[in-house]
Amino acid sequence: MSFNHNKIEEKWRNYWLNNKTFKSNSQTNKEKFYVLDMFPYPSGAGLHVGHPEGYTATDIISRMKRMQGYEVLHPMGWDAFGLPAEQYALDTGNDPEEFTKQNVNTFRRQIQELGFSYDWDREINTTDPSYYKWTQWIFLKLYEKGLAYIDEVPVNWCPALGTVLANEEVIDGKSERGGHPVVRKPMKQWMLKITAYADRLLDDLEELDWPESIKDMQRNWIGRSEGAEVQFEIADHEETFTVFTTRPDTLFGATYAVLAPEHPLVEKVTTPEQKEQVNQYIEKVTAKSDLERTDLAKEKTGVFTGAHAINPINGEKLPIWVADYVLMTYGSGAIMAVPAHDERDYEFAKKFDLKIVPVVEGGDVEKEAYTGDGKHINSDFLNGLNKEDGIRRAIDWLEENGKGEKKVTYRLRDWLFSRQRYWGEPIPIIHWEDGSMSAVSEDELPLELPKTTEIKPSGTGESPLANIDDWVNVVDPETGMNGRRETNTMPQWAGSCWYFLRFIDPDNDQKLADPEYLKKWLPIDVYIGGAEHAVLHLLYARFWHKFLYDIGVVPTKEPFQKLFNQGMILGENNEKMSKSKGNVVNPDDIVESHGADTLRLYEMFMGPLDASVAWSTNGLDGARRFLDRVWRLFITDDNQLSHKVVDSVTEDSLEKSYHETIKKVTENFEDLRFNTGISQMMVFINEAYKAEQISKDYAEGFVKILSPVAPHLAEELWEKLGHDESIAYEAWPAYDEAKLVENEVEIVIQVMGKVRAKMMVDKNASKEELEQQALENASIKERLEGKTVRKVIAVPGKLVNIVAN
RNA sequence: GCGGGUGUGGCGGAAUUGGCAGACGCGCUAGACUUAGGAUCUAGUGUUUUUAAACGUGGGGGUUCAAGUCCCUCCACCCGCACCA
């Protein structure tokens, strides 16, 4: 008979909640372990089967660590600000707050039904004023330190959403959410100076236990590159401009210069004859969206300005061009072009028939640009030097002559922190009528988001808050001066930049969190979530954490010591699950039909945690079948403990298998290799079915190691085994290494590397003994008939290989 | 183009320091129990051909007594970045 999952799961779910079984205590002397999930955005669609994958993984770790004697912090909360709720509210006329609340309730119910061992007393919600009070507080600290500033920048304006998007929210020229077109438009925006932390964000990656691919993506995103800044004078003009180059050694090979279309000097230096052409070009380029600009960039375009720059190293006149392959946002928005040794410059020079002068030996400039190393030529005092020495010598020359200096540039830009939306944290700043600006004082936090039914975009680019007069208008009580509140709100990333800190002390109204508790719990020992947050969330959170470290709020330089990215669960047809494809699996349905334990087990057994694997209904059935097998092994049809389970067995046939299982499962879970750990549990159950008797010790040990994966079933079995306390804090079983090796081991005998026979030998048999016994083996002897044994390799405990011909 | 990763049965996937390839699960086949069932139990299941053997971890080459694992080379697919000077 199979077990009734609905009944059992409900029973234990309520038991855990009512008893607060998983409440963590910040004041114990136990060693701590902080296991964190990336908290979800509570969408209207409810939980996706992808969510429980990571959540089960962290839950297994949490449950195992508790049983191993750790004090475990395993919390859950809601990243509930954001565009979808606002869009929904706009579409339906509902209140985003109300909508969010409903979604959170659904998510909570679904998550609780899966039996995750969260401490629900620590539940947090980023839209809760008592939470975003501290998000705003951190913003004020950033502002105080000059790390939050207003800048007029060309931003990604999305007319359909009525808001500005960060670069990373724009995919292929369209909004990440919704896929609406995006254009560039200059606007005043709040920026966070993440670039001030670029080097530390880069360097400190070294000490983190993260997947190398994620570290690489962050390195790539930060994009540190070393080189030099070089000053160029302009013939017949007062102005000079600066270029950034990683190859100052090729300065003698510079044959023209390029300014980005947005470069302020373009207008000034363009000659009257070229004016018309240049203006037309710039008009064309700025009208292009980012998408078109990169797309059409396959073919280089540009226009000569008529002006000439002076190469500082040899006084040569270089034509100055405007071209959109040079980006205003990187370096100084201007380059010196060395077509002989840069592929982009080469392509451009070929197209517009510009001079190409090789300065490094090794390539053939008739065919292509040569970017490799080699002896310098045509380069005066650099001649004969290699690339590395050439660069050093060139920088020395620039610095000695006041023409430039060594310089490090980053691809990382400052973080565009404003959103013209309603459903976000208000930025606590007031703009006064005299043009000054001041921060809302700390004791006035939280600056609450006003209730309103008018959340349509104002249309002007300002957020809907601009239309709420009694909120937006303020009067200074002392001076009587009129002011206007900042109407921009924070982006969705803000709340998730520090939520892991609030879990540590969620109800503190004096501080973001108690320093003692922060010291106890940080850093996070394991953080699991999807790879889609590889750069943005993880980089922003690291940035805020480092800042909080600098101002003495947190005790660690990095928040997430170990990071792991779970893979995706694909639809049964191997495609990404989506409503339109009709391949979505709803966790509620599975919990109802197969049970939460089955879903947990199945998702962990599908494959490695980081792999993307297609859902399989048959596989799910198989997972349930295993749990049924476990149940039937221990429990009879009339719901009693099986007679197979005895206090002391007459023959301990399971000894080796049991110890092997405990060892493997413990190690595999530790390494997040749940699929192999589960397969070992299956092996044990298969063995146990064959055994006449099962000792109660083994039965209990097995139920314990099963409990992190299938906690409801394990609690029920634990009770049947005669216990009246939860299994959650029972000691994790130990294994005996000595029991893993039997006295007799099977040794393989190979001839010429091919297995020809097997023999049982004493586990301590020496090389010589192995060799001798192998050569005496009857079938081997037969095989060696007429051959000469050249060599015998014996590996104790493994094999003997005989080389003969 | 650059960076990272992955290629193993019909399918998902296992495989310490190089040491019996295919654990475990799914599927399939046969048998048992059955008012013959989408239940359970037992056995089998990489491929080719008869036992025995040969061939087998994307392709090719190499190192080694021994290679899924190490080296070289090529190919395919996935993820990220994409004119970053």
For A404-447, how does the pLDDT look when each residue is reduced to its tens digit (9 = 90+)?
999 999 999 899 898 888 899 999 999 999 999 999 999 998 99
Scanning every strand, the nucleotide with its C1' closest to A619's CA turns out to be B26
* Gap from A787 CA to B52 C1', Å: 21
Question: Which position has the token pair 């029973």?
Answer: A11
How much is the pLDDT for A187?
82
How much is the pLDDT for A115?
96
| CB of A216 within 7 Å of some strand B atom | yes
| CB of A606 within 7 Å of some strand B atom | yes
| CB of A796 within 7 Å of some strand B atom | no
Alpha helices in A522-641 (DSSP H): 536-550, 587-593, 596-605, 617-634
pLDDT tops 80 at residue A166: no
| CB of A691 within 7 Å of some strand B atom | no
| DSSP track, A19-82 | HTTT---TT-SSPEEEEEEPPPP--TT---TTHHHHHHHHHHHHHHHHHTT-EEE---EE---S
Whole-number Å distance between alpha carbons of A179 and A519 = 43
How much is the pLDDT for A289?
59
Q: Which two tokens stand for residue A440?
A: 């809302």
| CB of A217 within 7 Å of some strand B atom | yes
Identity of the residue numbered A101: K
Identity of the residue numbered A148: A
Return the axis-axis angle of helices A596-605 and A617-634, rounded to nearest 10°: 120
Contact A407, A474 (CB under 8 A): no
Q: Which bases of chain B are contacted by protein, using any atom under 7 A from a CB?
A: 3-5, 11-15, 17, 19-21, 23-27, 39-42, 53-54, 65-67, 78-85
Whole-number Å distance between alpha carbons of A18 and A401 = 76
| CB of A213 within 7 Å of some strand B atom | yes
- Hey, how many other C-beta atoms are within 10 angstroms of the C-beta on A434? 10
* Gap from A752 CA to B66 C1', Å: 8
Residues 6+ apart with CB under 8 A from A529: A37, A38, A54, A565, A566
Q: What average pLDDT score do residues A129-145 get?
A: 97
Q: What average pLDDT score do residues A122-148 get?
A: 97
3-state secondary structure of A759: strand
Strands (E), A720-798: 744-751, 754-762, 789-795
* Gap from A208 CA to B84 C1', Å: 26
Average pLDDT, chain A: 90
pLDDT tops 70 at residue A526: yes
Alpha helices in A127-209 (DSSP H): 129-144, 198-203
pLDDT tops 90 at residue A328: no
* Gap from A213 CA to B72 C1', Å: 25
The model's confidence at residue A291, banded by pLDDT at 50, 70 and 90, is low
pLDDT tops 90 at residue A456: no
pLDDT, tens only, A629-666: 999 999 988 888 998 898 888 888 888 899 999 999 99
| CB of A296 within 7 Å of some strand B atom | yes
| CB of A801 within 7 Å of some strand B atom | yes
Q: Whole-angstrom distance between the N-terminal and C-terminal Cα of chain A?
A: 60
pLDDT tops 60 at residue A297: no
* Gap from A602 CA to B76 C1', Å: 30
| CB of A675 within 7 Å of some strand B atom | yes
* Gap from A777 CA to B53 C1', Å: 21
What b/e string do you get for A578-595 counting C-beta neighbours within 10 Å, with b at 16 or more? Answer: eeeeebebebeebbeebb
CA distances from A711 to A15, A263, A607, A611, A716 (A): 12, 63, 20, 24, 9
For residue A209, what is the DSSP state? B
∠ CA(A333), CA(A337), CA(A341), 5° rounding? 130
How much is the pLDDT for A298?
67
Complex ipTM value: 0.93
The share of chain A scoring above pLDDT 70, in percent, equals: 97
* Gap from A629 CA to B32 C1', Å: 19
Least confident of A162-166, A485-489, A610-614, A649-653: A162-166
Cis peptide before A129 (omega within 30 of 0): no
3-state secondary structure of A611: coil
A174 a known binding residue?
no
- Beta bridge partners, A186, equal A154
Scanning every strand, the nucleotide with its C1' closest to A793's CA turns out to be B65
Q: What average pLDDT score do residues A526-549 get?
A: 93
The model's confidence at residue A41, banded by pLDDT at 50, 70 and 90, is very high
